[in-house]
Amino acid sequence: MSTMQATSFVFHTTCNVCNQLRKAIVAPLLTLYKGIVISRQLHANYQVAEQLAGRGDFKGMSVAEVANFINQKTL
């Protein structure tokens, strides 16, 4: 095995290890990040629903109904 072949083999093996490690770390972090973003959006939607419930186009609707309507439009 030449030096070039050995270097290429080590580089390829190292890249595979790094890719597997990256996948193992990124996937859970991405899931956590998406959960945080959705949670913040739901909270903001509920706050808006509290202000809109029973007014204007939402007359006769409860806060939960308005929040559900907003969530369907934003998520």
* Residue pLDDT tens, the chain, 75 long: 666 676 677 667 777 778 888 889 988 999 999 999 999 999 999 999 999 999 999 999 999 999 999 999 998
53/50 Cα distance (integer angstroms): 6
> What does the pLDDT read at residue 7?
66
Which pTM was predicted?
Answer: 0.68
The number of distinct structural domains making up the chain is 1
> What does the pLDDT read at residue 51?
95
> What does the pLDDT read at residue 16?
79
In terms of residue numbers, what domain contains 42? 3-74
> What does the pLDDT read at residue 36?
97
> What does the pLDDT read at residue 48?
96
